[in-house]
Structure 1
Amino acid sequence: MNARDPHDEPPAAGRGRNESPEERADRRWGDLLQEVRVAQTGVQILFGFLLTVVFQQRFTTLDGTDRHIYVVTVVLGAATTGALVGPVTMHRLLTGRRLKPQTVVLASRLTLLGLFLLLCTMASSLLLVLRVAMRDTTAAWLVGALVVWFALCWFALPLWAWHNERRNR
């Protein structure tokens, strides 16, 4: 794989682990699996709930906009599930082919995509629920604030820490 992954940078003098590329890939793969397990559990619960909504009596009372938001939310939930299950399938299909470093990079990227899709699924789910609960424009503002919060916690803070560490090297 020609794309450079920041995780593959050698440790600075006196810092980091002394491990072979294969050991590093094994460690990173184990870490990634733990992260995916946490995200998958939440996505599976959310997606399962979303699939049952259409069968509730109150669903028929939703207006056209809310039904469209629901459809978008279900599609986003399915896409999120696909992205977060993808690393497991990738590992299963590529195990034993001496491609673990490349597999880790691809699976890591797929997991990041899954987390971004999870952010979108959460936003869409919240928008639907809050629109039904509040019936005013406050719902959109609350969802916007929560999207900013999720983006800060999930993406901005880790990227800030990474940037700070690189700058301090």
Structure 2
Amino acid sequence: MRNASRASRESRAAAGRGETPLERADRNFAELLQELRVTQTGVQILFAFLLTLPFGPRFPSLDTVQRTTYVVTLLLALVASILLTAPAAVHRALFQRGAKELIVGTSSRLASAGLAALALSFTGALLLVVDVVLNRTAGIVAAAGAFVLCCGLWAALPRRLRRVGPRR
């Protein structure tokens, strides 16, 4: 039922723009790729930063919690990077097979999961840095704030705008 009403809304939206379903899928994929370009830069910078940390002079002095935070954060940054680049691999594997709508839907879900992993990796990186520079309590507070901000701006705000925004 939910998919049927969504398909109906998408059909009406495509008709309102004067585009075919394939043109709409092409436009949606181009918009998604632009979004991924923006997020990928942040992921690459964070991942590079994390990769260099163990080679710094202060790394051997980290305690077990800090080292665990580091490893988990590094893995989350890797997962975010993989998820946010996966749409290119999906597109490449299904290129010219008439699967653009499948590519767009799958890529959108991969990007959403990538943003979730990115929010967690941002949170972990901030926790680690503030813990080392100030103390663990300050790190936890800063990380919690960052996580709430990511959830608010990346999840709650778009949902709210979807509810109160213009109807098609």
Q: Which residue type is aligned with residue 113 of structure 1?
A: A
1:133 paired residue number? 133
Q: Which residue type is aligned with residue 129 of structure 2?
A: V
CA shift digits 1:58-95 (9 cap, x unpaired): 10010111000000011001100100010011111111
* Cα shift at 1:138: 2.1
Contact preservation (8 Å) 2:86, 2:107: yes
* Cα shift at 1:3: 5.5
- Cα separation, partners in 2 of 1:151 and 1:31, compared to 1, 3 Å: same
Q: Percent of aligned pairs with the same residue?
A: 40
CA shift digits 1:131-161 (9 cap, x unpaired): 0011141221121122111111111111101
Q: Which residue type is aligned with residue 11 of structure 1?
A: R
Whether 2:17 is the aligned partner of 1:9: answer no
Contact preservation (8 Å) 1:76, 1:120: yes
Report SS of the residue matched to 1:54.
Answer: helix
| Aligned-residue RMSD, C-alpha | 2.3
Aligned length: 166
Q: Runs of 5+ in structure 1 lacking a partner? A: none
Please list, as runs of the form range in 1=range in 2, the aligned pairs for 1:96-111 lying within 5 A after superposition: 96-111=96-111
Contact preservation (8 Å) 2:90, 2:103: yes
* Cα shift at 1:11: 2.9
2:119 paired residue number? 119
TM-score, normalization: structure 1? 0.90
2:32 paired residue number? 32
Q: Runs of 5+ in structure 2 lacking a partner? A: none
Contact preservation (8 Å) 1:5, 1:105: no
- Cα separation, partners in 2 of 1:138 and 1:80, compared to 1, 3 Å: same
2:92 paired residue number? 92
TM-score, normalization: structure 2? 0.91
Whether 2:68 is the aligned partner of 1:68: answer yes
Contact preservation (8 Å) 2:11, 2:21: no
1:162 paired residue number? 162
Runs of 4+ in 1 over 6 A off after TM superposition: none
Structure 2 Cα separation of the partners of residues 106 and 150 of structure 1: 23
Report SS of the residue matched to 2:133.
Answer: helix
Structure 1 Cα separation of the partners of residues 160 and 145 of structure 2: 20
Bigger helix share: 2
* Cα shift at 1:6: 4.7
